[in-house]
Chain A
Amino acid sequence: MDVFSLLMDGFATSLSPLNLMIVLLGVTAGLFIGAMPGLGSVNGVAIVLPLTFIVPPSSAIILLCAIYYGAMYGGAVSSILLGIPGASTAVATTFDGRPMAQQGKAGLALIAAAVASFIGGTISVVLFTVFAAPLADLALKFGPAEEFALVLLAFTTFVGLGGDDVLKTIVMICLGLVLSTVGLDLISGQPRLIFGDLPGFYSGISFLVLAIGVYGIGEVLHTIETSKTAPQVTPARITFKELGAGFRAMNRLWRTMSVGSFLGFFVGMLPAAGATPASLMAYGIARSTSKKPDSFGKGNIEGVAAPETANNAASTGSLLPMLTLGIPGSPTTALLLGGMVMWGLVPGPMLFIEQPDFVWGLISSLYTANFAAVLINLALIPLFVWALRMPFTVLCAIVLVLCIVGGFAPSQKMHDVWLIAGFGIAGYLLRKADYPLAPLVLALVLGPLMEKSFRQTLIAEQGNVLAFVERPLSGTFIALAVLFFLLPLAKYLRKSPKDGVAPAQ
């Protein structure tokens, strides 16, 4: 069957009344979560995941993806109206979105953000549809050695491209991997790292416990500390006249928006990169190729369109390796992966063969979610303006309650709730000390796969370590991983010229 007919079959699933309602609900919830300053897609998915037990697993994933989508749209709202990015992915949107709002053009900026998000989402979903099946076919050839090499590659991108402190990144990757080994040994079944024989540790540490702790409680603590003064909401009205002006203005920005979409999609696929760097890069390119680079940062509509196309495209891009290879391209997709595993829908090439209905239903739901998001976003702008006036203390109290009850619900153990509180406080402190949290969450989710594939390969190859480099595909991945790992070292050596060779005259 070709891709088109598979996609059409998918629409039969995603346009069913339940799934359509779920998409609308998820997108609306995502828009509000994204619009709240501080809360982004990853916080939304972490807090809402326990609530999704209420619908069947395949619909739950569609719901979470819709929230992911909605949150990417919503992030722009607080960037423009408050001047505070709704999430780090919307930082670049504040550069020109905020000046536009201060000049009384908040409505125009919001329209530009919504339309740009839609274009970015649409182009990237089409790219996703085109690349998904071939990539899954390629991944079918992967054995444990390739799986291990690919996970290793995912982690080394954090070291090479992550932009955070290299040593701190390594600490967080190792911490996540070690925490993932808590519980029963995968091969021998013996208990390990069960800290004082606490029964709660026998079943391991769930990704959800870490995510709710770090992205729920940790985020609230961070918000409390940084919300010294209540931000000023800029009023925004949307009239049909403004809508028309917005669409006309956007019509001139096709080049910027296409560059942003393609760039966002491919940058988004990398685990270490994702939507934040993609949107900053798109902004940079738009400014440097503009005829009037000086107008950027002073309320140029192009400066809103570029990052918004890129961050939406990146969120779709990060779904591609998650669904086809089982390697998430962002912390949010790491949570989606964890959720899918929990529900028995293990992402990877086999999913395309065993559950084509689900896979193509999910892909087609991205189209409906994208379409729903732009309409709901434009329609609900007055509501966002009202919701943004909600005091932080009310929002934080509700999020904390949801974290506690949501943390208890999946396994119904108080042990997990205590762990959530512990991870929340530790995560807050680590974040303040500039330790990156994304590699920690990714490592906890990917840890079991990494250890299993490593040990399976060695058992199959009678302990021959060279098996990883002898196979062509895994050898290539390992070589790339080594390259990424050495990248910071190379940068460091280039920075200190006295250690290197003097440049040629």
Chain B
Amino acid sequence: MVTADRVIAASLMVFSAYLMWHATVLPIGWEGSSGPGGGAFPFWLSLVMLLASAGIFLRSFVSPPKDDKPFFDPEMIRSVVLVCVALLVTIGAMQYLGTYVALMGFLLWYLRIFGGHSWTLTASITLITPVFLFFFFEVTLKILLPKGVTEPFFLPLYAIFF
């Protein structure tokens, strides 16, 4: 927990410094009678953030907490990392394989392999979800979800519903 606390505080320090560097693109000082410039608000607030996270970082050395529990539950961290990876792969696949293929793949993996559910449950959720999404977003709201290479397969459906 102490290590994680320090790593997170240090990352926040680096991130604030990075934000400060970006903020300097616009004037960060006092612009005569019109008050602070466009970069002032992000710059000075990032500085406060840098100081506060530095305080958290230093405090962990001065008074470390008494009960040092592990930051991650060692039994469960594998599941969390797996879901994160699956999520990122799915989002990446949306642009190329299309939303429907990506999400069906995700559901199939999540329910059958990760969740260990029966084929009946897996198949019904995996098939009903894209149909619902299509009618809700594309037909009713006219919001087209990314199709990637599957675009040609949707042309007949577009012809029916639009």
Contacts and interface: CB of A to CB of B under 8 A. Distances in A.
Interface of A: 51, 53-54, 165, 167-168, 170-171, 174-175, 177-178, 181, 185, 187-188, 190, 192-195, 217, 220-221, 224-226, 228, 391, 393-394, 396-398, 400-401, 404-405, 408-409, 412, 414, 417-418, 421, 424-425, 428-430, 432-433, 435, 451, 454-455, 457-459, 462-463
Given A167-B52, A190-B38, A397 B115 contact: yes
A221 B84 contact: yes
Contacts of B87: 217, 400, 404, 421, 424
Interface in B56-105: 56, 59, 71-73, 75-77, 79-80, 83-84, 87-88, 90-91, 94-95, 99, 103
A417 B52 CA distance: 30
11 contacts: A167-B55, A181-B41, A192-B23, A192-B42, A393-B111, A397-B125, A401-B103, A401-B106, A408-B146, A433-B8, A457-B35
Contact of A405 (B35, B42, B49, B133): B133
Contact of A193 (B23, B48, B80, B107): B23
Contacts of B8: 429-430, 433, 435
Interface residues of B, number: 67
Nearest to A188: B38
B56 A171 contact: yes
A174 B94 contact: no
B115 A391 contact: yes
B49 A393 contact: no
Interface string B108-130: 00110011110001000100010
Given A398-B129, A417-B91, A451-B41, A412 B143 contact: yes
Interface of B: 4-5, 8, 12, 16, 19, 22-23, 25-26, 30, 32-36, 38-39, 41-42, 45-46, 48-49, 52-53, 55-56, 59, 71-73, 75-77, 79-80, 83-84, 87-88, 90-91, 94-95, 99, 103, 106-107, 110-111, 114-117, 121, 125, 129, 133, 136-137, 140-141, 143-146
A459 B94 CA distance: 46
Contact of A397 (B4, B30, B79, B107): B107
Contact of A53 (B23, B129, B141): B141
A193 to B, nearest CB: 5
A459 B52 CA distance: 30
B22 A405 contact: no
Contact of B46 (A51, A174, A391): A174
- Tell me if A's interface is mostly helix, strand, loop or mixed: helix
A433 B4 contact: yes
A394 B111 contact: yes
B23 A393 contact: no
A127 to B, nearest CB: 36
A38 to B, nearest CB: 14
B32 A463 contact: yes
B142 to A, nearest CB: 10
B84 A414 contact: no
Given A224-B80, A401-B129, A412 B107 contact: no
A394 B84 CA distance: 16
Contacts of A171: 12, 49, 52-53, 56
Given A405-B103, A414-B146, A417-B91, A393 B115 contact: yes
Residue in A185, A220, A428 whose Cβ sees the most chain B Cβ within 10 Å: A185
A188 B117 CA distance: 56
B19 to A, nearest CB: 6
A225 B73 contact: yes
Contacts of B12: 171, 175
Contacts of B42: 178, 181, 192-193
A392 B107 CA distance: 14
B139 to A, nearest CB: 11
Nearest to A413: B146
A446 B160 CA distance: 44
Contacts of B76: 224-226, 228
A217 B59 CA distance: 30
B100 to A, nearest CB: 10
A174 B48 contact: yes
A167 B5 CA distance: 13
A409 B137 contact: yes
A458 B46 contact: no
Contact of A192 (B30, B39, B83, B84): B39
Given A224-B76, A391-B117, 17 more contacts: A54-B140, A167-B59, A170-B48, A175-B49, A185-B26, A192-B23, A192-B42, A193-B19, A226-B73, A228-B73, A393-B111, A393-B114, A393-B117, A394-B115, A408-B99, A433-B5, A433-B8
Contacts of B35: 454-455, 457-459, 463
A221 B79 CA distance: 9
Contacts of A454: 35-36, 41
Contacts of A168: 52, 56
Given A174-B49, A418-B91, A195 B83 contact: no
Nearest to A225: B76
B18 to A, nearest CB: 9
Contact of A462 (B33, B48, B79): B33
A432 B49 contact: no
A391 B118 CA distance: 12
A404 B102 CA distance: 11
Contacts of B83: 220-221, 224, 396, 400
A221 B77 CA distance: 10
A408 B99 CA distance: 10
Contacts of A458: 34-36
Given A221-B83, A405-B145, A397 B22 contact: no
Contact of A225 (B25, B36, B77, B88): B77
